[in-house]
Chains A and B, each alone.
Chain A
């Protein structure tokens, strides 16, 4: 059943103008970044910044708006003899696949063309994971409140927290605990923010990682190994799974 829902939502969203604009924005940004920067590595860094800023924002807000707008459609579905969990999963997969499609079309093509080696694939992979994480967080935001304005407010706040406030907090902590050997603890702290995790993961793959100094070396020791990379990937997967599963549980129990 959720296959049908997914397909329906996928085709519904592809007709959406916001998604079209998002694809176009990503395409314009990535193509221009690679055309301006003659050094591929620098291009990756610039694009990483853009991806880590726009992708979460668009993913979380678009998800929230779309879910609120299709509230009536969801209620209609619920009147049918369909498992609630399947409806929610179908909605999630539909939204996710359309945003992933937009990302691949907009940023994926220039990345594959311009970035040589594994770094392009890693950049693409992290972009997709970030998309999935923020779609999942969008689901959590919408289920938390019935009020559309409040829901969108929460999602914007979440985005702001992960892309800006969290780093401010990290900076504050670094200065508070400057006297202590907190380098190892920092590995754990970054795991609490998927955007930081993705950023550091990419930077470690690039030459600039030498600039990270001692702390960077600790991170490299951890994420540079196969096990560390697997743990990093697993952490990102958890970031997709946990918010979605919580929202699913709430959706199943909710009195609509």
Chain B
């Protein structure tokens, strides 16, 4: 039988060769650019087969809306420019496992009805959008009904003047398992927007100078955002109507203005706020209707209010944080206190430590009487820094009458935590 075996092996070898070198084979490569096979990105996509790779060389491509409806890798070389001429949605992705990298995508259309974006992903899985520069778009990167997508190392720049005239930087809606990593976002309405997005991670992004929120988070459960920087946004960061959020190592800074907060938590439960830094915000953290949150080892420095905890919050644990140089460490709007504040460092603490165990022997009341007065009667803020306020605060420290009895840190630290 040696001859028969030989025939089979020769035939299978031939089949293999044909498959690999055939004109309509799998995983083709084509080039777009002046002097290459295609001069238009659209034509190249049209001609390409599922699984092909398209290299786009430098130059400006004004082709209206570019629809990617099959599994392709679009790779920009020499930063090619896709220009929407302020009329079109530039790239629409309607296929799984698309890779889009190395493009400058600029001047998308503007409309508030169909929300055109620089890059928009529709109902797709495993789409990777990596290392693009999005410039002056309405929405930057828009994902809807998408799963397991990665948005990484993109730069998004826009120049919004009014909230209603600009879209969000990275907008995610009804999606799951996303990774938003290492992006830089400025000048959009919300830097990053999550609504109905589950089990996703936002990591190492810088969101600054956006008109509304640096990060806006609604109805998005089981997410984590880690090591991001949110700086100088209109109103800081908002996390609302969500459970199981992890917020680690983020920096919230310079969110300064009338209604600005470093981090706004509204209707949040079972979440964990660990090792974040809140610097120079009007309020560092504003909590309303939040339950069972652990706020641990954060730094609150130079804020107007370190934390504002409304009376609607329950069972939150605030422990091992540093409160340094805030005008008011804590503010609240009622006398009901269902949260614990034990074991923090307060730079305004004036007690002593006889047994040298680094825990102050006298409990600390972080709520100053003036902050209570201001909460009841906001115009009283006019007396800020007046002599009578200092006097009131002093006497209240000695004999508390107006502040809630149980708003107290029983184990105040004598020295700051090394955070």
Contacts and interface: CB of A to CB of B under 8 A. Distances in A.
B258 A213 contact: yes
A149 interface: no
A174 B381 CA distance: 10
A175 B377 contact: yes
Contacts of A215: 378-379, 381-382
B257 interface: yes
Residue from the set B373, B383, B386, B387 with the largest chain A CB neighbour count within 10 Å = B386
Nearest to A41: B302
Contact of B388 (A48, A167, A190): A167
A148 interface: no
Interface in A177-226: 178, 182-183, 186, 190, 196, 199-200, 203, 207-208, 210-217, 219
Contact of A211 (B327, B380, B386): B327
A168 B325 CA distance: 27
B373 A171 contact: yes
Residue from the set A48, A174, A190, A217 with the largest chain B CB neighbour count within 10 Å = A174
B262 interface: no
B382 A210 contact: no
A74 interface: no
Given A167-B386, A210-B258, A186 B379 contact: yes
A200 B388 CA distance: 15
B377 A174 contact: yes
Contact of A212 (B302, B373, B381, B388): B381
A211 B259 CA distance: 9
B282 interface: yes
B378 A213 contact: yes
Contacts of B36: none
B304 interface: yes
Nearest to B389: A167
A32 B305 CA distance: 26
Contact of B381 (A49, A168, A213): A213
Contacts, number: 76
Interface string B265-308: 00000000000000000100000000000000000001011000
A45 B378 CA distance: 21
Nearest to A212: B381
Interface in B245-268: 256-258, 260
A212 B384 contact: yes
A215 B379 CA distance: 5
A184 to B, nearest CB: 10
Contact of A168 (B282, B302, B377, B388): B388
Given A208-B304, A208-B327, A210-B282, A167 B387 contact: yes
A109 B305 CA distance: 33
A213 B302 CA distance: 18
A190 B382 contact: yes
B381 A199 contact: no
A39 interface: yes
A199 B386 contact: yes
Given A49-B387, A183-B379, A215-B378, 10 more contacts: A39-B302, A49-B385, A53-B387, A178-B377, A182-B379, A186-B379, A199-B386, A203-B384, A203-B385, A213-B258
Interface of B: 256-258, 260, 282, 302, 304-305, 325, 327, 373, 376-391
8 contacts: A164-B388, A171-B388, A174-B377, A183-B379, A203-B384, A211-B381, A212-B382, A213-B378
